[in-house]
Amino acid sequence: MTRNNPVSRRTALKLTGAAASVAVLAGCSGNGADADDTNGDGGNGGGDEFEIAAGESILLEGITGGWEGADGDYEGVQNPTFVLEDGEDYEIGWVQGDGGSHNVELWDENEEMVDGYGTDLTDDPGDDGDFLEFTATDEIAYYRCNPHPDMQGEIRVE
Ligand SMILES: [Cu+2]
């Protein structure tokens, strides 16, 4: 028993030293991760935003769990936010994703349809997609598939 005491003490010291080193390393890598997070979130209020040039068509894939971008930079992004130019004309439409019945409507902040902008509910939008033409105004706040609450994304008109 008496022989074991010095060994135990030495082991304890080694462990303390090791623990201290780990703590220092953890502190360093922790700071690095924080810095990365800050850069990643920088200035973005959440959700990916995509500027669409005047006259362009926006194409989505109809999936009950959420619209999926089907063109350009927003391809594969769920419920992407679109940034449009005030007073310019655009098209928005969708192709079939999950075989369900969908449509696309443009809604205002109160979640009411703007200016009759909406396509008919269908499970067959065709190979080229079912589109509606509209003029961007600041009244438009969302694009939405009427029966499916998860199929809603933001439109910002600037
Ligand atoms: Cu839908």
CATH of the domain at 61: 2.60.40.420
Q: Is the domain of 33 the same as that of 56? A: no
pLDDT tens per residue, range 79-137: 999 999 999 999 999 999 999 999 999 999 999 999 999 999 999 999 999 999 999 99
Q: Is the domain of 30 the same as that of 68? A: no
pLDDT tens per residue, range 15-68: 444 444 444 444 443 333 333 333 333 333 346 899 999 999 999 999 999 999
CA dist 38 and 54 (Å) reads: 32
Rg (CA), the chain: 27
Domain range spanning residue 31?
A: 1-43
CA of 113 to the centre of ligand 1 (A): 15
Count up the domains in the chain and report the number: 2
Q: Is the domain of 142 the same as that of 114? A: yes
C-beta of residue 154 within 8 angstroms of C-beta of residue 138: no
pLDDT tens per residue, range 65-77: 999 999 999 999 9
CA of 60 to the centre of ligand 1 (A): 11
Q: Is the domain of 39 the same as that of 53? A: no
Per-residue pLDDT, 47: 60
CA of 13 to the centre of ligand 1 (A): 64
CA of 75 to the centre of ligand 1 (A): 18
Name the strand (E) or helix (H) holding 105.
strand 105-107
